[in-house]
Structure 1
Amino acid sequence: MIDSPSTALPAFTAHRVQRDRGSLSVRDFPGNGPAFVVLHGFPDNSHIYDDLIPHLVAAGRRTVAVDFLGFGASDKPQGAHYSFEQQLGDLEAVVETLALDRLIPVGHDAGGPAAVNFALQHPERTAAVCLMNAFYGDAPGLRVPEFIELFSNKGLQALTRHFLASPQQFAWLLGFQRDQMQAGLTEPQKARYTDFLGPIIDGNFRQQPSAAPAFAQMTYRLTDEVAANTARLLEFRRSDVPLLLIWGKCDPYLHASVAEYMRSNARNATLHILEAGHWPQIDASADVARLLLASH
């Protein structure tokens, strides 16, 4: 069952967090306890958490929503080089600028590596890590959406640049992937996908400057990042930081077997599988909030 969408977001403080090139858009919702720092994947932005945030703030918890450089309302510097290392640096810059002593990074989709690697590098500041339908290292059954696989294939870079230069063809690709991602969703969840999530993703590319360069570079580095994180699995297994896995069971790509594999490799992990798709924070926001609030 889909939760009722929030009618309005709670009040927040808008920050611009400076990076080497450009600045990040950060929304800081007041509260207590270790801050939930919510991290998006591609090709979306921090507004994918707008149904979840009111639940967390109503419970009195501080929540910080970050647009990675190149996405959403963050700057998109001309000629910028986007990478997973840069996104980890984005998170570290937010933590330092907002003086967050303790936090819970919440990584969805491609936001997962930044959340986990922050915890590995800064365990003393990490109360827990939450991953939602995310990836980290290689895992049996790991499959990425066709749209992402196309753009991550280094041998097809000329073709993907052509798609990026053609709004009509790029929109066709997005439309194909949108249909695939909705497989298994309930009718209310499909309606929320169309009304809420679709415009977030479309707006990322239609705005000027567009998120297309960041999307293209991040997807191009996908396989390299998975390989790099696979090499870190020994460090991952040794970590004592609690890992909370919240998974939508209807995700046709990052399905529950990926979460099960991560749980089996972690020292202190719990897994909750929800009646949701790839975006459980939209499809089951109240359930996700309850699990997050109970985690720490």
Structure 2
Amino acid sequence: MTLLTDSLIVDGVRLAYRDRGQGEPVIFIHGTPSHSHEWRDVVPRIEAAGFRAVTYDLLGYGRSERPVDRDTSVAAQAELLEHLLDALGVDRVSIVAHDIGGAIGQRFSLAHPERVRRLMLIDSVSFDSWPSPTWKKIIEEHLDDVAAMSQDEFNALLTRQLKMTVADDSLMSGDVLQAYLAPHQSAPGRVSFFEHQVRHYDSTYTEEISDQLGHLTAPVRIVWGEEDQWQPARYAKRLSDAIPHAELVVVPGAGHFLMEDAPERVVREIGDFLGAPLR
């Protein structure tokens, strides 16, 4: 399914987004290597439960603009999130954030605590947890020569990485796999992937806020796939220890893309956290 249906200009750039439902606003922030497709089995359920769900592709990702000369680091994405909420007329919001989206959620919640009702972090980057060893190797070997990489080589590389995101790698195949590969099926798409995503795989953005996590004031729930190969579950425990009031939920038999391995569990956790239990 195509989740995102509209676009809007925010701070001079175009973001693809979806804004549906009535009630308390909730914003979904995806991770990498990904786009809003990862929320396809989750967001419609939250909309139907009586919430206003906002979903968007980060700048440089998916269907959003891929600017040549604009910072797309998680620090810049957190600043852009403020502009997006302003453009949509959202004063306070609950944040559901995955992977690098979690870094954006952490940074935004610390900078603007008055605007955050709740924060859910799903297999989030944190501290010095990223990039993973396999991404470090890719950065060392390919970041500066991506233009020489063929489409087949790129697809093979990204497929190997995406297969690591799920506990059951048969889930990352067929149409699902193709949807994750789709934004990068051209030379500009390949270059954009490395420039807007991989170049910013840098733990500086989380390490510099690590000693502030105890200052988060909104309720926090941390949800993690027990078999996450990129963000090991020990980081979930470390995060929950750093945020004294945080709840920690570890999901057995699930990997980094928890929404692929266990979408029903993700829906239940979000519904429960928002105060509208879904069964």
Answer yes or no: is the 8 Å Cα contact 1:24–1:74 preserved in 2.
yes
Deviation at 1:14, TM superposition (A): 2.4
Mapped to 1, the partners of 2:108 and 2:164 lie a distance apart of 32
Q: Aligned residue for 2:181?
A: 202
Q: Which amino acid aligns with 1:83?
A: S
Q: Aligned residue for 2:101?
A: 111
Match of 2:91 among 85, 94, 101: 101
Question: SS of the counterpart of 1:161?
Answer: coil
1:27 and 2:24 matched? no
Q: Aligned residue for 1:288?
A: 266
Residues 149-168 of structure 1 mapped to structure 2, 5 A cutoff: 149-153=136-140, 156=141, 159-166=142-149, 167-168=151-152
Mapped to 2, the partners of 1:119 and 1:81 lie a distance apart of 20
Question: SS of the counterpart of 1:257?
Answer: helix
Identity of aligned residues (%): 24
Deviation at 1:99, TM superposition (A): 1.1
Count of aligned pairs: 272
Q: Aligned residue for 1:50?
A: 40
Q: Aligned residue for 1:237?
A: 214
Match of 2:171 among 184, 192, 195: 192
Q: Aligned residue for 2:31?
A: 41
Mapped to 2, the partners of 1:178 and 1:103 lie a distance apart of 30
4+ runs deviating over 6 angstroms: none
What TM-score, normalized by structure 2, do the two folds share? Answer: 0.87
Q: Aligned residue for 2:230?
A: 253
Deviation at 1:143, TM superposition (A): 5.8
Answer yes or no: is the 8 Å Cα contact 1:152–1:221 preserved in 2.
no
Q: Per-residue CA shift, 1:249-283, capped at 9, x if unaligned?
A: 12112121111100000022011111322111222
Mapped to 2, the partners of 1:254 and 1:164 lie a distance apart of 29
Mapped to 2, the partners of 1:208 and 1:220 lie a distance apart of 17
1:148 and 2:152 matched? no
Q: Aligned residue for 1:265?
A: 242
Higher relative contact order, chain-length normalized (CA < 8 Å, sep 6+): 1
Q: Aligned residue for 2:159?
A: 175
Answer yes or no: is the 8 Å Cα contact 1:76–1:211 preserved in 2.
no
Structure 1: runs of 5 or more not aligned: 1-7
Query: Judging changes above 3 Å, is the alpha-carbon distance between structure 1 residues 9 and 218 closer, same or farther for their aligned structure 2 residues?
Result: closer
Q: Aligned residue for 1:5?
A: none
Deviation at 1:16, TM superposition (A): 1.1
Q: Aligned residue for 2:122?
A: 132
Q: Per-residue CA shift, 1:137-165, capped at 9, x if unaligned?
A: 22xxx364445223444xx5xx4232453
Deviation at 1:219, TM superposition (A): 2.5
Structure 2: runs of 5 or more not aligned: 275-279
Question: SS of the counterpart of 1:287?
Answer: helix
Q: Per-residue CA shift, 1:174-223, capped at 9, x if unaligned?
A: 233234344x42xxxx3432135312221121157526425434422323
Deviation at 1:170, TM superposition (A): 1.7
Answer yes or no: is the 8 Å Cα contact 1:45–1:72 preserved in 2.
yes
Match of 2:8 among 16, 30, 38: 16
Query: Judging changes above 3 Å, is the alpha-carbon distance between structure 1 residues 262 and 46 closer, same or farther for their aligned structure 2 residues?
Result: same
Q: Per-residue CA shift, 1:102-133, capped at 9, x if unaligned?
A: 21122211111111111111111101111111
Q: Which amino acid aligns with 1:206?
A: Q
Match of 1:69 among 51, 59, 65: 59
Answer yes or no: is the 8 Å Cα contact 1:52–1:282 preserved in 2.
no
Mapped to 2, the partners of 1:195 and 1:40 lie a distance apart of 21
